[in-house]
């Protein structure tokens, strides 16, 4: 890719060990190289985010608060990412945000203030790569033991053995010198804000954050229908 501004990771099976419908932060375990991949991206000035299907919410197996708490724990272990986006819908809902549709990628790019075309999306199944393609981003498959063999074969030329290798290869392809640098916040990083949880039903409707730039979210169909279907609510919006 000619320009690289952000790296978006799938969560389960890419950054953390996949525990189906996990709502317990204590069960979060990072995959080898995950934290290093995030740190490498940050050390070279890239924005970072997560785009994750969480249909357990729509199936009634998880609450949004449980997903937020799991995300918070993963974020802590990974050293902090800039945005966490998730789709709460089941496949049958036909939403625009569930991967392989592009809604989550567009939403993350909008929140980060970068064009989707300048994003690298890393995931462990075909839906991750296809969502990237649909959004105009670059997708890389990082297969694991659970990845379908047909998907591994299909994306053999768009794959990497792990997330760290995928980030490193994308940086080199974009012409960014990759050396030993101390991980840290991007030079233009916004101040980190505290985690916020969904307000009680009687607490009133919280103010909506500013909309993403129009050039990064082509139309409303590319956005999740539910305003709170993102990661840590209210944490990562550009100021």
Domain ranges of the chain: 6-144+153-176
Q: What mean pLDDT value characterizes the chain?
A: 82
Average pLDDT over residues 213-226: 39
> Rounded to two decimals, what is the model's pTM?
0.79
pLDDT above 80 (res 200)? no
Q: What is the pLDDT of residue 221?
A: 36
Asked whether residue 161 carries a pLDDT value surpassing 90, the answer given is: yes
* pLDDT given at position 107: 98
pLDDT tens digits along 32-54: 999 999 999 999 999 999 999 99
**What is the signed CA dihedral for 191, 71, 162, 29, rounded to 10 degrees?**
120
Q: How confident is the model at residue 180 (pLDDT cuts 50, 70, 90)?
A: low
Catalytic annotation, residues: 10, 12
8 near 105, Cβ under 8 Å?
yes
pLDDT at 25 over 60: yes
Banded pLDDT at 202 (limits 50, 70, 90)? very low
Please state, in angstroms and rounded to a whole number, the distance separating the CA atoms of residues 129 and 122. 7
113-140 mean pLDDT: 98
Tokens of 199: 């307000």
228 has a pLDDT exceeding 70: no
Higher pLDDT, 58 or 210: 58
Per-residue pLDDT for 58 more than 80? yes
d(CA 141, CA 161): 8
Dihedral sign from CA coordinates of 207, 214, 238, 178: positive
pLDDT band at 1 (very low <50, low <70, confident <90, very high): low
Structure tokens at 103: 């809604």
Report yes or no: 194 and 34 within 8 Å, Cβ to Cβ: no
Residue 3 has pLDDT above 80, yes or no: yes
Q: Per-residue pLDDT averaged across 46-68, rounded?
A: 98
- Homologous superfamily of 6-144+153-176: HAD superfamily/HAD-like (3.40.50.1000)
Look at residues 87, 150, 114 and name the one whose alpha carbon lies nearest to residue 6: 114
pLDDT at 101 over 90: yes
Assess contact for 90 and 58: CB atoms under 8 A: yes
């Amino acid at each position: 890719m000619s320009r690289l501004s952000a790296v978006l990771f799938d969560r389960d099976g890419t950054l953390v060990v996949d525990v189906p419908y996990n709502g317990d932060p204590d069960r979060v375990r990072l995959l080898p190289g995950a934290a290093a991949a995030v740190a490498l991206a940050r050390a070279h000035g890239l924005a970072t985010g997560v785009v994750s299907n969480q249909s357990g919410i729509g199936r009634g197996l998880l609450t949004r608060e449980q997903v937020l708490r799991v995300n918070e724990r993963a974020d802590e272990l990974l050293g902090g990412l800039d945005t966490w986006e998730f789709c709460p819908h089941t496949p049958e809902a036909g939403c625009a945000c569930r991967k392989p549709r592009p809604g989550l990628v567009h939403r993350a790019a909008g929140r980060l203030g970068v064009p989707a075309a300048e994003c690298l999306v890393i995931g462990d199944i075909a839906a991750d790569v296809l969502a990237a393609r649909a959004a105009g981003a670059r997708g890389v498959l990082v297969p694991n033991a659970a990845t379908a063999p047909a998907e591994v074969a299909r994306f053999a030329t768009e794959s990497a053995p792990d997330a760290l290798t995928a980030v490193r290869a994308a940086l080199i392809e974009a012409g960014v010198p990759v050396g030993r640098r101390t991980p840290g916040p991007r030079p233009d990083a916004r101040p980190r804000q505290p985690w916020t949880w969904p307000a009680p039903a009687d607490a009133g409707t919280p103010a909506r954050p500013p909309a993403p730039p129009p050039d990064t979210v082509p139309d409303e169909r590319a956005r999740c229908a539910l305003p709170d279907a993102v990661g840590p609510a209210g944490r990562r919006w550009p100021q």
